[in-house]
A = this chain, B = another copy of it.
């Protein structure tokens, strides 16, 4: 079964013809390690689904520090949602930490598919709800846990990310300096 179908069918069920119709709206692309999907200042009309590889979404602050918003591994969706939804220019970067295979859908195709296909609207709505809940939990973790606790929670929740990305990246996701993270254990 197509990996995207498996992924969607974790939430809603699809007929063969329905999935083919959905898949027709996606375009595959490949990117190599270090290449960018999105850079600051661009208008974003694509949402990406990771077939294979690993990416990060991050912002650069005035002092040049990187702050990681999100990692994306196989089966994850990624884009600059602020730019995508509000049709403003991106404030973030998304680049590949490994060679990547992706499928993307444009904003207009996503909307078209949601309109004509109630089930897909429900699928995306559910994904967004869960993303929102995860983000609220991350806020709470930043408010109530120490750096060490946050690292341990992340190790428990996303062991595969810990294995695949450098500690420097983990540090910049957790909101702690590289040096401090290195001294935690």
Contact = CB atoms under 8 A, between A and B. Distances in A.
Nearest to A57: B136
Contacts of A128: 125, 128-129, 132
A30 interface: no
Interface residues of A, number: 33
A1 interface: no
Interface string A105-133: 00000000011001001101100111111
A81 interface: yes
Interface string A138-173: 111011100000000000000000000000000000
Nearest 5 interchain pairs by C-beta? A135-B135, A132-B132, A67-B143, A125-B125, A143-B175
Given A59-B144, A135-B139, A142-B143, 9 more contacts: A61-B144, A69-B140, A81-B132, A82-B133, A82-B137, A118-B121, A121-B122, A125-B128, A138-B139
